[in-house]
Amino acid sequence: MVIWEVDCYRRPLRDAAGQSLWELLVCDRPFQFTYGATAPQSAVNSDWLRQQLTMALQKSGQSPDEIRVFRPQCLSLLQVAAEPLSLPVVPSRTTPTLKRWLVQRSQWYPAQPEYSGEPYDPLAVEQLAPVPMPENLWGDQWRFGSLSAQDLQESLIYEPMPFQVVPADFLPLNLGLPSTAAIPGVIIDAGRRSLPLAQWLQEQQPATLTYIPGAPDGVILAAGLVDRWVLTTFEDPQVAAAGQQFNERQQQAHGLHFLLVRPDDSGMTFTGIWLLRL
């Protein structure tokens, strides 16, 4: 599967007339193909983007199966530009190669004559305030948990279940983690609500889970491009200690973690699993 990661947004650059410069960056996942173009903000529209994507296709020699875009400000523009070319544009926070490239280029801009000197964070995306998830979907109980990398990769993901999002790039052994590494997760036993809950989660496109200490403590689900949901809140000190351990294990596992939905704690049936990474 050929995946392109694409961004089109303003950079800390201005042309001779003082207009902000926008930059289109295109790369494939292994970073074997790249394409870039800049234009004044007033010239950036769907026609200009379509022309650039056409030239990128000519340079690449092959059409991508999917174009991933992490920045909501350019998503609709790219979708309009790509539609006549039959290129599917998918919103996704998972654009690791592009994000590394953006960080590298942010260190290159200050040496350019067009550099404006304005504050610039190459990966900044406005985040929405977290909102409670629908109460009618919440299950019977939940807990922080963990699995060894081996049990996760060689056992759990092969269990039959209606929903399973396990990107190959996120498999723990592919990330170089030892088979004994503890992969943290949040496990929800949702009873009769397990299928509606898993369906709702699939629609939201889970991205990350974060334990947030506070009064009360909580677990935040980041989903889609900018959505955030309050998965649960609690004040139990023992659960808070488990939450702190969850965060620590996330760091030790290179940000890897999982969200598991099942009807009960029998270990016999599962409804959905999402393998996530910070």
Task: List, for residues 160-169, the tens digit of each pLDDT value.
Answer: 999 999 998 8
Q: Write out pLDDT tens, residues 104-153.
A: 999 999 999 999 999 999 999 888 899 999 888 887 899 999 999 999 99
- Entry pTM: 0.82
Q: Which amino acid is at 78?
A: L
String of b and e for 216-255 (b: at least 16 CB within 10 Å)? ebbbbbbbbbbbbbebbeeeeeebbebbeebbebbeebee
Specify the pLDDT at position 139.
79
Calpha distance 64→47 (Å, rounded): 20
| Residue 255 pLDDT class (50, 70, 90 cuts) | very high
Mean model confidence pLDDT for the chain: 94
Give the residue extent of every domain in the chain: 3-111, 131-277
Q: Write out pLDDT tens, residues 33-88.
A: 999 999 999 999 999 999 999 999 999 999 999 999 999 999 999 999 999 999 99
Residue 162, preceding bond cis, omega within 30 degrees? no
CA atoms within 13 A on the CB side of 169: 12
Q: Helix H segments across 162-223? A: 194-204
Could you count the other beta carbons within 10 Å of the beta carbon of residue 44? 23
| Residue 265 pLDDT class (50, 70, 90 cuts) | confident
Q: Write out pLDDT tens, residues 185-220.
A: 999 999 999 999 999 999 999 999 999 998 899 999
Per-residue CA distances from 17 to 11, 13, 14, 40, 210 (Å): 15, 11, 8, 9, 44
Specify the pLDDT at position 251.
95
* 108 burial via Cβ count (<10 Å: 0-12, 13-18, 19+): exposed
Averaged pLDDT for residues 227-245: 93
Averaged pLDDT for residues 179-187: 96
Calpha distance 60→76 (Å, rounded): 23
| Residue 244 pLDDT class (50, 70, 90 cuts) | very high
Specify the pLDDT at position 267.
79
- Residue 161's contacts (CB-CB under 8 Å, 6 or more residues apart) are 269, 270, 271, 272, 273
Specify the pLDDT at position 215.
82
Averaged pLDDT for residues 222-249: 93
Is residue 41 a contact partner of residue 21, using CB atoms and an 8 Å limit?
yes
Specify the fold of 3-111.
Answer: Nucleotidyltransferase; domain 5 (3.30.420)
Tokens of 7: 């961004």
Specify the pLDDT at position 116.
95
